[in-house]
Amino acid sequence: MNLRKARVAGLLLASVGVVAILVAHWMVVFWVPTEASMGVVQRIFYIHVPAAWTTFLAFGLVALASLAYLWLGDDRADAAAVAAAEGGLVFGAIMLTSGPLWARVAWGTYWTWEPRLTLTLLLWFTYLGYFLVRGSMADPRKGRRFAAVVAVFGSLNIPLIHVSVSWFRSLHPEAVVIKPEGPTLHPDMLATLLTSLGGFTLLFLGLFSLRYSVEHASRRLQAARFRESTGVSP
């Protein structure tokens, strides 16, 4: 994609995302009914779930882009992987801090060694490792390749998360939206969740496009500087 187009699309998506998140926050505070059993704290759900969804979307993108980079060796795939990984770490941090706040009231503890929670934390650390590997290789080209390998290997953990949830008894709330018999969530709650979900997704995609264009532009700048100093086209 043209860099200018990516930047404009990024700004547009991020702006719409921010507006949608602001609307979702208004709905969370003033509009949506309070959940009967957990009380007011359940409203964190409208932040936690979209953050979790965005994190997994981001990490999925990192895995796909990394696979493409290993396969094709195209630098644009690597730029996309970094952009998505940074987004994944940020939204993952939102998920991993909002979750315990909710859990403290709902389950009486900030943290519980529940499989889905544990494996999500591990996945987050895997992507932290992604950045450590990238930054710790003397040859940046090798850093990109090795980081892509870590991302692909790490993404193997995603199916394990699903398996562990179904194999072990879990404290985690059951699925309330995507079920074969249709959502059991109150329609107002569903509307708030979907607004927030849409906002988070658009914000992530916007930030992803912006970060991608910055990464791509910085590489082009580096190449141009190189050309200037050496007289050889890269």
Partner 1 sequence: MRELRWGCMIALKDLRLELRSGSRLLAMIAFVVLSALLFSVSLNLAHLEVRGLVAGLVWLTTLFAVTAGAGRAFDTEENDGAFRHVLLTPVSRGAIFLGKTAANWVLVWFVTMLAFFALTTFMEIRSPGPLAWHGAVFLPGTIGLAVTGTFFGRVSNHSTLGDTLLPVLTFPLLVPVVFFGATATSRILLERPWLEISGPVRFLWAFAVGSAVAGTVLFRHVADE
Partner 2 sequence: MTLEGRGLVCDYGATRALRGVDVSARGHEILAVFGPNAAGKSTLLRTLSGERRPDRGRVFFDGAVVSGGDPAWRARIGLVSHRTGLYGNLSVSENLRFFASLQGSPGSRAALIEVLEQVCAAEVADTRTAILSRGQRQRVALARSLLHNPEILFLDEPFTGLDPGGVADLETVLRAIRLEGKIVVLVTHDIPRGLKLADRMVVLRDGRKVLDGPTADRRVEDVVPLFGASFARDRS
Q: Which residues bind partner 2 (CB under 8 A)?
A: 138-141, 222, 226, 230, 232, 234
Stretch that binds partner 1, among 17-25, 50-58, 142-150, 215-223 (CB under 8 A): 142-150
Work out what residue 226 binds among partner 2, partner 1, none; the CB cut-off runs from 5 to 8 Å by kind.
Answer: partner 2
155: CB partners within 8 A, 6+ apart: 59, 60, 62, 63
Q: Please state, in angstroms and rounded to a whole number, the distance separating the CA atoms of residues 44 and 173.
A: 13
Element (H, E) at 16: helix 3-26
Which residue lies nearer to partner 1 by CB, 132 or 221? 132
Q: Quick one: what does residue 230 bind among partner 1, partner 2, none, with the CB cut-off 5 to 8 Å set by partner type?
A: partner 2
Closer Cβ to partner 1, 111 or 146, answer by number: 146
d(CA 234, CA 133): 25
Burial class (CB in 10 A: 0-12, 13-18, 19+), 94: middle
Q: Contact positions toward partner 1, by CB under 8 A? A: 70, 118-119, 122-123, 125-126, 128-129, 132-133, 136-138, 142, 145-146, 148-150, 152-154, 156-157, 160, 163-164, 167
